[in-house]
Structure 1
Amino acid sequence: MEFNGTLTSCSIICESDRPSQVPPSTVWVEGRLICGLNSSPPRPNLSIEQRQLEAKQYLASINKGQQAYHVETETFTDKIEEFGLFIPTETESYCYEIKTVEDKWVVTTATPKLRDLKSYTGVVFITTSQGYFMTKSIVCESDRPSSIPPLIEWVGEEVKCVFGSSPLS
């Protein structure tokens, strides 16, 4: 997986769909490793909605943590533990990644490990209001299941979700 020219990693566990002497296979699709034919990731009894709720809650918490961290330090961080959250960077359903950009904004992505899940991008950015600097945040959700987190675009001093994704309220 590549993010802003930086290679990152995410592991996957695959299990056979039926008894077999052949081990489960993996395949590269759209720049990401997925389970191949006759195999799938282990699935605890969590619904798609529950898995996606995890990502939404994690990104909302990370965005709030980044905003509080910025008030204290006037910078952003790519280390979750620096603002007191104990959120894993990888769960059974998602890989989470944080990248700071030019000390002006920070992007957190939630990349799904399962093909039926939506992906998410959270952004905290600095803007001005009445001559004062302040932080704002947004979380974009892909409109359909996707292995690629939503892209964002700058419109003036605001960050917007691009076509194919929608902001969460």
Structure 2
Amino acid sequence: MKTEFKAKFLQQLNKRRQDQGFTLIELLVVIIIIGILSAIALPSFLSQANKAKQSEAKQYISSLNKGQQAFYAEKGTFVTTITELGSLGLGLKSVTNNYTYALAGAQNGVAATAQGVTGLRNYAGGVTLVVAAGAEAASTQTILCESKTIPTTSTAPNFTMGVECTGDWTAVK
């Protein structure tokens, strides 16, 4: 009878130990695992966030280019300020949380630039006039370029417009 009592007593102790919850070591192991997983996932998440911010600049520059083409088709000239393109109903701002946008006149066209905050790539684009041999009228051609490097400071992009991206710029397709 004594051994039976000891067996039931040990079973009761084990049952109480199971009802008490997690040990400190078990909690530490879980916290360490969560820390390792977040250290792996956080840089990937931040990279995706920057890509989303940069897509804003691509869309804005593309919209500015299309607006310039439409304005040229309607009026026969290019505009040099973003507010002038507002007459087309684009509704674009020259400053957002991530970028500062500007237009500048260029030879036979206009260039648009997007200067990003620190940590984001700069973008530039433009619309140029292209006259084909034997053609009566000129047509317009657009280009969108991305800086090859991410600037360490918020400096305005140095972009010379043409029909191709040169220097520190690559074409965005």
Q: Is the TM value for this pair above 0.5?
A: yes
Segment drifting more, 145-154 vs 118-127: 145-154
Out of 127, 142, 152, the residue aligned to residue 147 of structure 2 is 142
Residue 124 of structure 2 aligns to a residue whose secondary structure is strand
Does residue 67 of the first structure (1) align with residue 69 of the second (2)?
A: yes
More helix by share: 2
TM score, norm. by length of structure 1:
0.64
Deviation of 1:81 after TM superposition, in Å, equals 0.6
Does the 8 A contact of 1:110 with 1:149 survive in 2? Answer: yes
Deviation of 1:82 after TM superposition, in Å, equals 2.6
Specify the alignment match of 1:14 in structure 2. none
Task: List runs of 5+ in structure 1 lacking aligned partners.
Answer: 1-45
TM score, norm. by length of structure 2:
0.63
Does residue 87 of the first structure (1) align with residue 87 of the second (2)?
A: no
Does residue 152 of the first structure (1) align with residue 152 of the second (2)?
A: no
Specify the alignment match of 1:97 in structure 2. 102
Give the count of matched residue pairs.
118
Residue 160 of structure 1 aligns to a residue whose secondary structure is coil
Does residue 120 of the first structure (1) align with residue 123 of the second (2)?
A: yes
CA distance in 1, matches of 2:130, 2:96: 32
**Identity level (%):** 31
Segment drifting more, 46-55 vs 141-150: 141-150
Does the 8 A contact of 1:100 with 1:107 survive in 2? Answer: yes
Residue 109 of structure 1 aligns to a residue whose secondary structure is strand
Deviation of 1:129 after TM superposition, in Å, equals 2.0
Specify the alignment match of 1:51 in structure 2. 53
Deviation of 1:87 after TM superposition, in Å, equals 0.9
Specify the alignment match of 1:17 in structure 2. none
More strand by share: 1
Residue 65 of structure 2 aligns to a residue whose secondary structure is helix
Structure of greater Rg: 2
Q: How far does the alpha carbon of each residue in 1:10-49 deviate from its partner, in whole angstroms, 9 at most, with x for none?
A: xxxxxxxxxxxxxxxxxxxxxxxxxxxxxxxxxxxx8110
Out of 71, 96, 115, the residue aligned to residue 111 of structure 1 is 115
Segment drifting more, 79-88 vs 89-98: 79-88
Cα RMSD (Å): 1.7
Deviation of 1:117 after TM superposition, in Å, equals 0.3
